[in-house]
Structure 1
Amino acid sequence: MKRLVWPLMLAALLAGCAGEKGIVDRGDYKVDTRRQAQAAYPRVKVLVIHYTADDFDASLATLTDRNVSSHYLIPASPPEKGGKPVIWQLVPERDLAWHAGISYWRGATRINDTSVGIELENRGWQNVAGQKRFAPFSAPQIDVLAKLARDIIQRYQIKPANVVAHSDVAPQRKDDPGPLFPWRALAAQGIGAWPEPDRVAFYLAGRSAYAPVEEGSLLTLLERYGYEVKPEMTDVQRKRVISAFQMHFRPTRYDGIADAETEAIAQALLEKYGQG
């Protein structure tokens, strides 16, 4: 009889422990987490890339002040510690940062609420003989950005079409990160969207790349992909939407003019990633 006591006690102890699985003790109370709702979604759905248009010290001061913030800041020349590049995290990813401002993407407004923002130290653009001249990004900066972006995308399962430029979500106000940002190279690493060249050629259908197309039809495609397009927009505003798209996907020419290649790129993107 005595031989059965210890096995029975052990079984009871194990059963008690199993019963506590999923019960979280928070000091003054306990929380049962064993039943999880199906209608639950992560806050983060979008990754927004910016440039700071200033040097590092000024950028850090601005992003830690009261008026604007971003989750991450990456220096143009990241310092190393223990043989690894150092970047700055200014806001926890779980918290909302004020980096996108008034914004829109794929049917959603208030992109701050659903995004992580990464700021890159970069001078932005200067007016040279009446034209915008953008500053390039350094290879070490882009290399560490790629590592960070991959981690964020994996953590939140961010879709390629939701890795965007600030100018994509706010084309009327912003140009960053500009036409020198290496979207195509990053897409080759699994970061963001890029059209298949053969499908662009298919939709171009032998037309000259810069052959004019109907602006309204192109804007309909861009709206379907994710950009904000309103019926009451002015000519300048419509041009800025097209230019933002071109800076991202056809940076060799981003004049905001509706042409055949821009139209073909939009069609290829919609085919690959669907509409927003």
Structure 2
Amino acid sequence: MKKLFTLIAMTAFLTGCASTLNIDRTYSGKMQDSRARFLVIHYTVSNLQRSIQLLTGDNVSVHYLVSDEDQPRIYGMVDESKRAWHAGKSEWKDYKSLGASSIGIEIVNPGYIDTPAGRVYAPFPQKQIDVLMPLIKDIVARNQIAPENILGHSDIAPQRKQDPGPMFPWKQLADAGLIIWPNADQVKARQAAFENQLPDIAWFQKKLHEHGFALPQTGELDAATKNVISAFQMKYRPSNIDGKPDAETAAILDVLTSSPSTLVTPFLEQIAHTPK
């Protein structure tokens, strides 16, 4: 009983302190930026009702959900100032556990089905993408998220995730100046050279790690390396995502890791020069 009274007294004391706390916010530190360094895009592998049920449950959450209704809408599910549980075990460049430093968007999409002819991924209706794009631009503008940090779940967790899959229209994001994209002419020129001499696996692993993927440098075409190559192909060469190193994949990877972005006016640069 004595412990109970002590706890009640402490609670009352702390509540009283909170109500009378006076903070002078006249000054603001110049050196500050957003908590969010990354934007991570997912698909739900469920319909809307089930997606909402899962994302409001005990195991996973996300900042925004884009529906697949006739008129798609955006559901705000976790405030951006708070961490949402959407990234899990993840890594990109020098960052790990990206849930703490990212904003997550889930898109209602059934994902894929495995058939006798192979895995078939579901498309994203353009009307859904038309709702998604302004949301991405708004998040990027407010948080100053760099183009190389707009990622898919498969980028940051390639050993266990495939979303948003090869049907997600990354090229539309590139055309809007949101993400980096390889110059097609440079890719074509380098592909011709790689057709004559394909780099070894160690080269692929080194370049993929330089691009941002977490990947052991084994020098062998192991399962982990195939998964990472497939994740890379999903984004930049979705017509063939077999995870095998080939001349086209090598050319795209080489351009992305050794040449500046081909975006003439990236989105962040556009808004920086937009008259207020």
TM-score normalised over the length of structure 1: 0.82
Q: Distance in 2 between matches of 1:199 and 1:31?
A: 56
Q: Distance in 1 between matches of 2:208 and 2:250?
A: 9
Q: Which residue of 2 aligns with 1:218?
A: 204
- Which ranges of structure 1 fall in alignment gaps of 5 or more residues? 1-25, 80-84
Q: Distance in 1 between matches of 2:104 and 2:43?
A: 10
Measured after TM superposition, the shift of residue 254 of structure 1 is 1.0
Residue number among 86, 98, 107 corresponding to 1:99 in the alignment: 86
Q: Distance in 2 between matches of 1:172 and 1:104?
A: 11
Q: Which residue of 2 aligns with 1:53?
A: 45
Measured after TM superposition, the shift of residue 61 of structure 1 is 0.2
Q: Which residue of 2 aligns with 1:133?
A: 120
Q: How has the CA–CA distance of structure 1 residues 243 and 56 changed in structure 2, closer, same or farther, with 3 Å as cutoff?
A: same
CA RMSD between the two structures = 2.0
2:29 pairs with 1:37:
yes
The answer to whether the 8 A contact 2:233-2:240 is kept is yes
Q: How has the CA–CA distance of structure 1 residues 78 and 41 changed in structure 2, closer, same or farther, with 3 Å as cutoff?
A: farther
Q: Which residue of 2 aligns with 1:245?
A: 232
Residue number among 49, 59, 63 corresponding to 1:67 in the alignment: 59
Q: Deviations over 1:174-210 (max 9, x none)?
A: 000100100011210122221121222343244449x
After superposition, residues 144-183 of structure 1 pair within 5 angstroms as 144-183=131-170
Q: Secondary structure at the match of 1:192?
A: coil
Q: Secondary structure at the match of 1:272?
A: coil
- Give the greater-gyration-radius structure (CA): 1
Letter in 2 for 1:67: N
Q: Which residue of 2 aligns with 1:272?
A: 260
Q: Distance in 2 between matches of 1:206 and 1:106?
A: 28
Letter in 1 for 2:57: D
Measured after TM superposition, the shift of residue 259 of structure 1 is 1.4
TM-score normalised over the length of structure 2: 0.82
Measured after TM superposition, the shift of residue 107 of structure 1 is 1.2
Measured after TM superposition, the shift of residue 123 of structure 1 is 0.5
Q: Secondary structure at the match of 1:118?
A: strand
Q: Secondary structure at the match of 1:31?
A: coil
The answer to whether the 8 A contact 1:73-1:88 is kept is yes
Measured after TM superposition, the shift of residue 38 of structure 1 is 4.4
Letter in 1 for 2:62: S
Q: Distance in 1 between matches of 2:41 and 2:210?
A: 21
Q: Distance in 2 between matches of 1:245 and 1:234?
A: 15
Q: Which residue of 2 aligns with 1:6?
A: none
Percentage identity across aligned positions? 39
Letter in 2 for 1:105: W
- Which ranges of structure 2 fall in alignment gaps of 5 or more residues? 1-17, 262-276
